[in-house]
Structure 1
């Protein structure tokens, strides 16, 4: 997400294989009942208010994508259950951790908030990827090998100069510490200019108590 983009571009193009109604299994960190993170995003929305060409992420759909697995119609129920079990086993050795949100990152398709330290969730990501590789044949592990953990705030829906978005976030908001103690598997689809999902499983980090 560097250097700074000169122009914003439309995020809502159809990725290969994606079409209306077709769902993906995705591992997310979700932000339910995290008032600090929600307040931070609301501050960013206020700064961006009035700028054309942006779709803010609604509060119920705030997320940090950890790993896209694959299309639900290509993954069997047995693979799904084996993956959840494998992720659960690996997460027992990954301790819950706290990260800081608040550093704006600029992409031509979106404004997002970065995570500090950047490698703070690498063990979570690595464990998920190992489990997916072992259990799911039609996986999408090669689609996103270079991971920058982030919380998406707003997606661009058109071609426009990036300078107004960058200027609105020139003074970074006060960072917020967020404790990550679980990850969620969702069945996700794109509806209009938003991503929505059903939660399939929640996996806790750390030893089973």
Structure 2
């Protein structure tokens, strides 16, 4: 647990208002238990200053950065989706638990168990991106910590009020991953929103 929080809303190299980035997300569509768990933690945090709670419609698990949309031709996007489709078709849907509470300096998130349970999904979309588009300097390698963000920090300050508000902890819930979603994401103020471009199924 951190001693202090920092502002999450700084700009990564190349990012700017309105510029869209292509990413692979895992989305908890139709899984009420996941949304209920997030809401329970957000209710605990509702009175704590310095946080932006993630709206339910934008809950996500960032899986792989592909690159900036204005640098990737349409034919490469089509090839990316086709390649990812072939790779993900070889995987069976995966069930993990989500809910391992993770407070880090830029926010509050829910991790998964087993911790490496979704690595095959990430490897598939990562290899597809490398094969069709090329590696991007913001791709997050070597580490990937799969998580669903509950809230982002928007200020510098002590972490103790946030950590205290989260007790008692809730039990994890199942998350079934049957697809990966390619999206064009933009940062809109203190919010990430996106346009869905493709849904690629496992199995």
TM-score (norm 1): 0.94
| Cα distance in 1 between the residues matched to 2:138 and 2:4 | 29
| Cα distance in 2 between the residues matched to 1:79 and 1:145 | 24
TM-score (norm 2): 0.97
Q: How does 1:27-176 map to 2 (within 5 A)?
A: 27-137=24-134, 139-140=136-137, 142-176=139-173
Residue of 194, 197, 200 corresponding to 1:200: 197
Number of matched pairs: 203
Alpha carbons 2:66, 2:139 under 8 Å: kept: no
* 1:125-184 superposed Cα distances (whole Å, 9 cap, x missing partner): 011111100000363465442000000000000001011111222432121111110110
Aligned-pair Cα RMSD in Å: 1.2
Alpha carbons 1:79, 1:135 under 8 Å: kept: yes
| Cα distance in 2 between the residues matched to 1:141 and 1:156 | 21
Q: How does 1:172-191 map to 2 (within 5 A)?
A: 172-191=169-188
Residue of 13, 16, 21 corresponding to 1:24: 21
Please name the residue that 1:7 is paired with: 4
Alpha carbons 1:68, 1:140 under 8 Å: kept: no
Shift of 1:32: 2.2
Deviating 4+ runs (over 4 angstroms): none
Unaligned runs of 5+ residues in structure 1 are none
Shift of 1:74: 0.6
In structure 2, relative to structure 1, the CA distance for the partners of 1:175 and 1:152 (3 Å cut) is: same
Alpha carbons 2:98, 2:172 under 8 Å: kept: yes
Unaligned runs of 5+ residues in structure 2 are none
